[in-house]
Amino acid sequence: MNLMSPDGGLLFWMTVIFAIVFFILAKFGFPVITGTVERRTKRIDDALKAARKAEESLAGLAREQEQMAERARAEQARILQDAAAERDRLIAAAQQQAAEEAMKIMAEAKARIREEKEAALRDVRREVVRISLAVAEEVLRKELASEKEQEDFAGKMFDEASKLHS
């Protein structure tokens, strides 16, 4: 038996055995193998589809995250603008209130100065009147030192008073 040049019987039995093995494999083995390969191919395709969906979902989430970040930045800018406007309004109100308070204090100070000035003028007038009366009294005492001068002066005053009432 030489394997390099086999005889006809050996070839026949090898062909028959090959046909039987091939038939068994074709009937039972190949469908299992092809089914397994098809199932594996389907799982790989499903996994690829799921990966694409996940990738699209991640891209959508990234877009949504960017939109949310943009909305947050816009909201932050709006809040900052509102805060700046409120700050400016409060400063303006405080300045207005300070100006009104200053005007009120100035008006009160002017009124107080005017009152004190009038009081000082009244005091000066009283003092002038008092001094004038003291001087007049002294002058009259010197002028009316005698009884005759006093009677003449009293008569003169009586005549003047009579003329005023007539």
Q: Is residue 163 part of a domain?
A: no
Tens of pLDDT, residues 15-34 = 999 999 999 988 988 888 89
Name the residue type at position 52.
R
Q: Report the percentage of the chain scoring pLDDT > 90.
A: 60
pLDDT digits (tens, 9 = 90+) for 71-104: 999 999 999 999 999 999 999 999 999 999 999 9
Q: Is 162 within the bounds of a domain?
A: no
Is 86 a member of any domain? yes
In a domain, 111, yes or no: yes
Cα distance between residue 79 and residue 88, in whole Å = 14
Domain membership flag for residue 1: no
Cα 73 to Cα 32, 36, 84, 85, distances in angstroms:
60, 54, 16, 18
Mean pLDDT of 53-74: 94
Which residues in the chain belong to E strands, given as ranges? Answer: none
Q: Assess if residue 51 is contained within a domain.
A: yes
Domain of residue 121 covers 8-132
In a domain, 122, yes or no: yes
Query: Which contiguous run of DSSP H or E holds residue 32?
Result: helix 30-143
Q: Is residue 124 part of a domain?
A: yes
Domains held by the chain: number? 1
